[in-house]
C-alpha cells in the first residue's frame, strides 16, 4: 500500500483525499506517532486518542483560517504532523526542535499557545468574537479534554460563551481520563451521559442520520433536534446555552466528518461531545494510559521504557516523606490538583485513601480547600508544580497567607524542567512567594534537607513552601527521622576568602564546585524567607564580593532579597546576582539550558572571575 501520510504536508493536501481514504491515513499516522515518540519521548496516550478527531477537524475546517484551539496542547502531535511538521517530529521537545505544545511562533496552524490547561474555550471565544467584530466568516473551535473541563476557568468561559451568539464550537474530548483516572462530580455526570442504552441508542441514531448525509443546514438542524430529543432532559451544557450534540464515537471517521461538516454550518455556541480512548491503537498505552501519558524513550515493540538510574527523585523523596509524616500525624491531609503521579502521592494515596484528595485540575480550589481544612485544625499539604501554583496566586495570598493558615506547599518542578519548556518551567516562584507576608519559603540543597524542610514547614504554624527541582538531587543519604531545621538559619558550607557565594537550593552544589578554584566561601542559605540576615551581614563584613545564585528569575528573586537586606543595613558592596535571565527559556535538556544561563559550576565560576577582573 502506498503511504498516504507521506503525501500530506498540509491540511490542504489532506482535504484532497477521499473520505474513504481517511482510515488508512489514521492507521499510518498512529504507527508514525508510536515510532516517533518511542525515539524522542513525549506525550503519547492522549495523542493516540485524537488521531481520527484531528484528521476530521483539518478535513472539515478551513485551517488555518478557521481556528483550532487545543486545550493543554499535549495532544497536538497528530496536528503537528498534518500541518507540515512530520519531519520535525524527530526533534520534538529537543533544544532547537519543535515544541511539545502548540506555539504561535512555530506554525500558523497553532492558533494559540498552551501548556497549562483549560484556557481553550476562553481563547476560542475571543477569536470567535474577534471574527464577528472583523466581519469574518471564520469558525473557532476549542478542543478540550474531560480532565481540563474540570477546571473553573473552563466553566467561566462556558458561562460567558453560552450567553453570546459567537460562532464557537467546543469539542469535549471525553476519554474518561485525566493523567490519572478523572475525578469529581462532572466526571460522574459525563459517565452517566454515556452510560448504557442511552449512549447506544444515540450512537445508532447519530450514525444513521449523519453517516449518509451531505452537510446541509436543514439536515444539521434536524440532527440536532433528533439528538436533543433523545437527550431529555437537557444536558448541563444545554443549560449553559450551548447546542449539545453527541456523544459520538471519536474513532469513527465517517461519523466525525459528517457531524463536524454539519456543525460547521451552524451559528452560535455549539458543543460536541466526542468519546475517545486514551492510548487508542497501541496496546501498552491502552492498558496503562497513565504511564503513557508522558513517557521517555521506549521500545515500540513492547512498550518497555528505558530504565531509570535507580536514584530517588525529589518527587519520590517527597512521596516517602508524605507517607511517613501522615503515619506520624493523623491531621495531615494530602491534596493534589490532578497530579497524583507527577507529584509523588501514589504511596500516600494507597496507605491513607481517606486523607487523600485529588481535586481535579483546580489549583485555585486546591489552595482554598486547604485553607478551609486548616481552619478546622487539620494540616493540609498541597503538592503542586511551581508553574501551576501561578494559577492559585490570589488564593495563596488572600485565603492562606492573609489568615496565616498552616498550609504546606510542596512545590515540585521548581526551576527549569527541560523538555516541556517555558510553559512548565518553575522560574518565578521565589519571586512571587517571597513578597507575601507570613510565608516561609525554603529551598533545599539536597534530598536530605528537602525531607527536613518538609517536616519544618509541616510543623510551622503558618503558611510554608518547600521548592525543589524536577528529577534527582545530589544523591546524599536521606535520614528517615522526621527532623526539622531552624527557621531562618542558613549554614556555611565552605570557607574561603574575598568572595562569598550565597547559594539557594539546587545551586548549592554547582556553587561549591565553582568555589574550589576561586577559593570562595559558600553558604547554603536554605531560607529565601525569612532570610538569614545575620549570615548575610556577617558574610558581607568578611568578604569583598557577595554573589547570589538561584534557579529562579533574577528579578525579584533571592538575590534581590539579599540586595534589599544589604541596602537596609546600609552596607555598600560589590554584589553579583546570578539566576535566570529576563526571558523565557526554551525546551531542551535541563543541564544544557542551565549551562546556557550560566547556572552550572563553570558558568558561576566564569561570572565571578569576570566580576573580579
Ligand atoms: C493548569 C494545569 N494543571 C495541570 C496540568 C497538568 N496536566 C496536563 S494534561 C492533564 C490531564 C488532562 O486531561 P484531559 O484534559 O482529559 O486530557 P487527556 O490527557 O485525557 O487527553 C493534566 C492534569 C496542566 N497542564 N495545567
Ligand atoms: C502536559 C502536562 O502538563 C503534563 O503532562 C506535564 O508535561 C507533566 O510534566 P512532568 O513530566 O514533569 O510530570
Ligand atoms: Mg481526558
Q: How far apart are CA 483 and CA 248, in angstroms?
A: 55
In degrees rounded to 5, what are phi and psi of residue 452? -65, -40
| Residue 106 shares a structural domain with residue 223 | yes
| Residue 69 shares a structural domain with residue 202 | yes
116 is in an annotated binding site: yes
Q: Supply the pLDDT for residue 97.
A: 98
Q: Which helix (H) or strand (E) holds 171?
A: strand 168-174
Q: How far apart are CA 75 and CA 54, in angstroms?
A: 10
Quick check: is 323 in a domain?
yes
Is residue 156 among the annotated active site residues?
no
Quick check: is 74 in a domain?
yes
Residue from 114, 147, 187, 362 whose mutation best tests the ligand 1 pocket (most atoms within 8 A of CB): 147
Quick check: is 550 in a domain?
yes
Quick check: is 235 in a domain?
yes
Q: Supply the pLDDT for residue 213.
A: 38
| Residue 412 shares a structural domain with residue 268 | no
Q: Supply the pLDDT for residue 214.
A: 37
561 is in an annotated binding site: no
Quick check: is 534 in a domain?
yes
Quick check: is 294 in a domain?
no
| Residue 85 shares a structural domain with residue 172 | yes
Mean pLDDT for back-to-back runs of 10 residues, the chain (613 residues): 89 98 98 98 98 98 98 98 98 98 98 98 98 96 98 97 96 96 94 68 47 40 46 77 95 98 96 97 97 96 91 97 98 98 98 98 98 98 98 98 98 98 98 98 98 98 98 96 98 98 98 98 98 98 98 98 98 97 98 98 98 91
| Residue 453 shares a structural domain with residue 592 | no
| Residue 249 shares a structural domain with residue 141 | yes
Q: Among 400, 433, 467, where does a domain finish? A: 467
Compute, in angstroms, the gap from residue 237 CA to the centroid of ligand 1: 21
User: How many angstroms separate the Cα of 215 from the Cα of each of 192, 258, 421, 525?
Assistant: 30, 7, 41, 66
Q: For ligand 1, what atom is nearest to the CA of residue 144? A: 15
Compute, in angstroms, the gap from residue 173 CA to the centroid of ligand 3: 7
Q: Grid coordinates representing 263?
A: 456543525
Rounded to a whole number of angstroms, the CA Rg of the chain reads 26
Candidate list 391, 413, 529, 605, residue with the active-site label: 391
Is 72 touching ligand 1 by the criterion CB < 6 Å? yes
**Who contacts 2 (Cβ-Cβ below 8 Å, separation ≥6)?**
none
Q: How far apart are CA 385 and CA 319, in angstroms?
A: 14
Is 43 touching ligand 1 by the criterion CB < 6 Å? no
282 is in an annotated binding site: yes
- Nearest-ligand number for the alpha carbon of 74: 2
Q: How far apart are CA 156 and CA 154, in angstroms?
A: 5
| Residue 11 shares a structural domain with residue 118 | yes
| Residue 558 shares a structural domain with residue 452 | no
58 is in an annotated binding site: no
Q: Among 281, 304, 328, where does a domain finish? A: 281
Is residue 363 among the annotated active site residues?
yes
Compute, in angstroms, the gap from residue 390 CA to the centroid of ligand 3: 23
Handedness of CA 364, 369, 370, 371 (dihedral sign): positive
- Nearest-ligand number for the alpha carbon of 341: 2
Q: How far apart are CA 183 and CA 163, in angstroms?
A: 28
Compute, in angstroms, the gap from residue 24 CA to the centroid of ligand 2: 31
User: What per-residue string of b and e applies to 482-493 under the rule 16 or more CB within 10 Å gives b?
Assistant: beebebbebbeb
**Who contacts 354 (Cβ-Cβ below 8 Å, separation ≥6)?**
none
| Residue 460 shares a structural domain with residue 606 | no
- CB within 6 Å of ligand 2 — which residues? 72, 74, 179, 293-294, 342, 413, 417, 420, 424, 470
User: How many angstroms separate the Cα of 57 from the Cα of each of 79, 255, 451?
Assistant: 9, 12, 48
CATH number of 365's domain: 3.40.50.970
| Number of folded domains that form the chain | 3
Q: Among 232, 257, 281, where does a domain finish? A: 281
Residue ranges making up the domain that contains 237? 4-281
Q: For ligand 2, what atom is nearest to the CA of residue 73? A: 1
Q: How far apart are CA 445 and CA 468, in angstroms?
A: 9
CATH number of 552's domain: 3.40.50.920
Q: For ligand 1, what atom is nearest to the CA of residue 116? A: 26
- Nearest-ligand number for the alpha carbon of 294: 2
| Nearest residue by C-alpha to atom 25 in ligand 1 | 116
CA 441 from chain center: how many Å?
22
506 is in an annotated binding site: no
CA 70 from chain center: how many Å?
14
Candidate list 278, 355, 526, 529, residue with the active-site label: 278
Compute, in angstroms, the gap from residue 521 CA to the centroid of ligand 1: 44
Q: Supply the pLDDT for residue 306.
A: 87
Is 74 touching ligand 1 by the criterion CB < 6 Å? yes
| Residue 409 shares a structural domain with residue 269 | no
Quick check: is 385 in a domain?
yes
Candidate list 28, 30, 93, 363, residue with the active-site label: 363
Cβ contact 14:86 at 8 Å = no
Q: State the CB neighbour count (10 A cutoff) for residue 353.
A: 8
**Who contacts 371 (Cβ-Cβ below 8 Å, separation ≥6)?**
380, 395, 399, 400, 403, 405, 407
| Residue 607 shares a structural domain with residue 497 | yes
| Nearest residue by C-alpha to atom 5 in ligand 2 | 294
Quick check: is 472 in a domain?
no
Is residue 355 among the annotated active site residues?
no
| Residue 444 shares a structural domain with residue 529 | no
Quote the ipTM score: 0.99
Amino acid at each position: 500500500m502506498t503511504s498516504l501520510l507521506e503525501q500530506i504536508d498540509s491540511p490542504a493536501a489532506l482535504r484532497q483525499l477521499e473520505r474513504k481514504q481517511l482510515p488508512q491515513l489514521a492507521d499510518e499516522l498512529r504507527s508514525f506517532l508510536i515510532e516517533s515518540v518511542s525515539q524522542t519521548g513525549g506525550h503519547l496516550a492522549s495523542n493516540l486518542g485524537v488521531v481520527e478527531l484531528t484528521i476530521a477537524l483539518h478535513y472539515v475546517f478551513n485551517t488555518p483560517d478557521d481556528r483550532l484551539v487545543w486545550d493543554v496542547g499535549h495532544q497536538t502531535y497528530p496536528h503537528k504532523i498534518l500541518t507540515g511538521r512530520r519531519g520535525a517530529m524527530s526533534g520534538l521537545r529537543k533544544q532547537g526542535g519543535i515544541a511539545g505544545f502548540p506555539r504561535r511562533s512555530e506554525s500558523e496552524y497553532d492558533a494559540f499557545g498552551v501548556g497549562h490547561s483549560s484556557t481553550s474555550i476562553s481563547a476560542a471565544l475571543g477569536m470567535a468574537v474577534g471574527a464577528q467584530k472583523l466581519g469574518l466568516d471564520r469558525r473557532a473551535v476549542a478542543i478540550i479534554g474531560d480532565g481540563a473541563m474540570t477546571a473553573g476557568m473552563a466553566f467561566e468561559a462556558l458561562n460567558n460563551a453560552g450567553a453570546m451568539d459567537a460562532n464557537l464550537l467546543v469539542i469535549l474530548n471525553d476519554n474518561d481520563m485525566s493523567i490519572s483516572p478523572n475525578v469529581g462530580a462532572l466526571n460522574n455526570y459525563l459517565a452517566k451521559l454515556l452510560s448504557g442504552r442511552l449512549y447506544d441508542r444515540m450512537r445508532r441514531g447519530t450514525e444513521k442520520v449523519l453517516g449518509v448525509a451531505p452537510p446541509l443546514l436543514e439536515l444539521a438542524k434536524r440532527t440536532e433536534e433528533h439528538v436533543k430529543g433523545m437527550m431529555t432532559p437537557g444536558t448541563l451544557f444545554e443549560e449553559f446555552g450551548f447546542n449539545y450534540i453527541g456523544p459520538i464515537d471519536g474513532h469513527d471517521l465517517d461519523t466525525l466528518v459528517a457531524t463536524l461538516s454539519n456543525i460547521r454550518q451552524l451559528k452560535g455556541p455549539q458543543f460536541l461531545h466526542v468519546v475517545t480512548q486514551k492510548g487508542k491503537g497501541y496496546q501498552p498505552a491502552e492498558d496503562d494510559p497513565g504511564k503513557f501519558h508522558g513517557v521517555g524513550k521506549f521500545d515500540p515493540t513492547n512498550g518497555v521504557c528505558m530504565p531509570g538510574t535507580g536514584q530517588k527523585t525529589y518527587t519520590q523523596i517527597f512521596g516517602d516523606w508524605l507517607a511517613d509524616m501522615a503515619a506520624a500525624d493523623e491531621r495531615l491531609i494530602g491534596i493534589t490538583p490532578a497530579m497524583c503521579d507527577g507529584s509523588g502521592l501514589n504511596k500516600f494515596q494507597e496507605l491513607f485513601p481517606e486523607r487523600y484528595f485529588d481535586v481535579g485540575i483546580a489549583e485555585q480550589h486546591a489552595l482554598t480547600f486547604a485553607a478551609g481544612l486548616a481552619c478546622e485544625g487539620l494540616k493540609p499539604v498541597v503538592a503542586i508544580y511551581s508553574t501551576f501554583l501561578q494559577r492559585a496566586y490570589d488564593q495563596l495570598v488572600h485565603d492562606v497567607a492573609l489568615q496565616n493558615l498552616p498550609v504546606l506547599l510542596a512545590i515540585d518542578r521548581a526551576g527549569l524542567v527541560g523538555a516541556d519548556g517555558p510553559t512548565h518551567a518553575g522560574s518565578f516562584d521565589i519571586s512571587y512567594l517571597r513578597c507575601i507576608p507570613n510565608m516561609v519559603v525554603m529551598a533545599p540543597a539536597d534530598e536530605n534537607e528537602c525531607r527536613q524542610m518538609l517536616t519544618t514547614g509541616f510543623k510551622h504554624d503558618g503558611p510554608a513552601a518547600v521548592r525543589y527541582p524536577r528529577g534527582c538531587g545530589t544523591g546524599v543519604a536521606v535520614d528517615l527521622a522526621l527532623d526539622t531545621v531552624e527557621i531562618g538559619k542558613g549554614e556555611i558550607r565552605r570557607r574561603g576568602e574575598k568572595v562569598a557565594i550565597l547559594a539557594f537550593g539546587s545551586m548549592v552544589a554547582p556553587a561549591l564546585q565553582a568555589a574550589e578554584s576561586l577559593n570562595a566561601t559558600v553558604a547554603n542559605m536554605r531560607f529565601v524567607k525569612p532570610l538569614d540576615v545575620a549570615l548575610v551581614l556577617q558574610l558581607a563584613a568578611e568578604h569583598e564580593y557577595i554573589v547570589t545564585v538561584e534557579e529562579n528569575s533574577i528579578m525579584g528573586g533571592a538575590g534581590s532579597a539579599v540586595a534589599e537586606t544589604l541596602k537596609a543595613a546600609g552596607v555598600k558592596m560589590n554584589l553579583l546576582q546570578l539566576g535566570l535571565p529576563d526571558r523565557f527559556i526554551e525546551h531542551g535538556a535541563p543541564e544544557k539550558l542551565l549551562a546556557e544561563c550560566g547556572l552550572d559550576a563553570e558558568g558561576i565560576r566564569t561570572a565571578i572571575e569576570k566580576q573580579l577582573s
